[in-house]
Amino acid sequence: MAVIVACGGGQATGSPHPRPTASTDAVTAPVPMAPQSEWQGLGATEVPPADVPQVSLKGMEVVNQTDQAVSDGDARAWAEALLRSIRYEFWAVSRRQDRFLVQSGLSSAPNAVFQPDLGDLVDATRAGVRVEYAQKTIRRLVLRRVPSGLGPVFTGQLFAWRPYAFYLDAVGPGYKYWIDPQGRRTVKTELAAGAPGFELVGGEMSHHRVLGDIFVLASDWDCLAPASRQRLAPLCNP
């Protein structure tokens, strides 16, 4: 997935007047952390800190545009799961856990979805630094149905088609840092405050034995790219 600029387009069937689900400030219940041996089975060399899988929808609006094919409660649970997947992704990049990104089951098309992350890890390793991402501000998570006729569009980018996707109404600031062995931090890429960073992230909910409830990432489109807007409209529309 993208942090500063997304990687990477039929008609959505969402209601013209979607109802936002209720917002909350609460953080989800703790996810019990499995022993290191189980994380090693997912390609990780260490156990992530206990706060990594903790998520909150505070300040974000969850909008259900599925005409109730997915309930409002499930849409909200899926949104939390998506945030958890992103937190695992960011942890993996910051800790150089490239095998985890590919092997953990966090994505059904990891080499495509995480291509920018994997490229960042290669570049950072060559430079003798590590990478750290700072999340954009997500204002709305809009769940939309993805017509099956768009399947070839997704597979043509080596993504996996799934029947639902979240439109991320997100804005800057967002950052990609390089951090040297002495802890000095350099901004490599910046999304300016207020600048749009819209994405369309396809996937499906999964109750993972180790990771907890995650949204298995199947695709990630940059909704600012003209080609994505053309191929995926109106899924990529605000």
Band the pLDDT of 7: cuts 50, 70, 90. Answer: very low
Share of the chain above pLDDT 70, in %: 87
How many CB atoms lie under 10 A from the CB of residue 34? 15
pTM: 0.88
- State mean pLDDT over 164-184: 97
Band the pLDDT of 105: cuts 50, 70, 90. Answer: very high
What's the total number of domains in the chain?
1
The predicted pLDDT at position 28 comes to 55
The predicted pLDDT at position 15 comes to 33
The predicted pLDDT at position 32 comes to 64
Kindly report the CATH number assigned to the domain that includes residue 77. Answer: 3.10.450
Better pLDDT: 20 or 210: 210
- State mean pLDDT over 111-137: 96
CA-nearest of 135, 124, 234, 133 to 181 is: 124
Whether residue 5 has pLDDT greater than 70: no
25-67 pLDDT, tens digit per residue, is 444 555 667 889 999 999 999 999 999 999 999 999 999 999 9
Q: Are 199 and 220 in contact (CB under 8 A)?
A: yes
Whether residue 65 lies inside any domain: the answer is no
Average pLDDT in the chain: 89
The predicted pLDDT at position 10 comes to 30
DSSP per-residue string spanning the chain? --SSS----------SSPEEPPP--PBPPPPPPPPHHHHHTTT-SSPPPTTTT--B-TT-EEEEESTTSS-HHHHHHHHHHHHHHHHHHHHHHHTT-HHHHHHSSSBSSHHHHTHHHHHHHHHHHHHT-EEEEE--EEEEEEEEE--GGGHHHHHTTT----SEEEEEEEES-EEEEEE-TT--EEEEEEEPTT-B--EEEEEEEEEETTTEEEEEEEEEEETTSHHHHHHHTTTT--
- State mean pLDDT over 102-117: 98
The predicted pLDDT at position 9 comes to 29
Whether residue 82 lies inside any domain: the answer is yes
Whether residue 20 lies inside any domain: the answer is no
The predicted pLDDT at position 1 comes to 62
- State mean pLDDT over 200-208: 97
- State mean pLDDT over 149-172: 97
The predicted pLDDT at position 30 comes to 53
Q: Is the dihedral of CA 218, 158, 91, 235 positive or negative?
A: negative
Whether residue 29 lies inside any domain: the answer is no
Whether residue 21 lies inside any domain: the answer is no
- Taking the C-alpha atoms of residue 15 and residue 65, their distance in angstroms, rounded to an integer, is 6
Whether residue 80 lies inside any domain: the answer is yes
The predicted pLDDT at position 31 comes to 60
Listed as own residue / partner, the contacts of 121-128 with beta carbons closer than 8 Å and 24 or more positions apart are 121/93, 121/96, 124/96, 124/178, 125/96, 127/178, 128/180, 128/181
Whether residue 171 lies inside any domain: the answer is yes
Domain enclosing residue 86, as ranges: 1-14+70-238
Whether residue 117 lies inside any domain: the answer is yes
The predicted pLDDT at position 133 comes to 96
Share of the chain above pLDDT 90, in %: 84
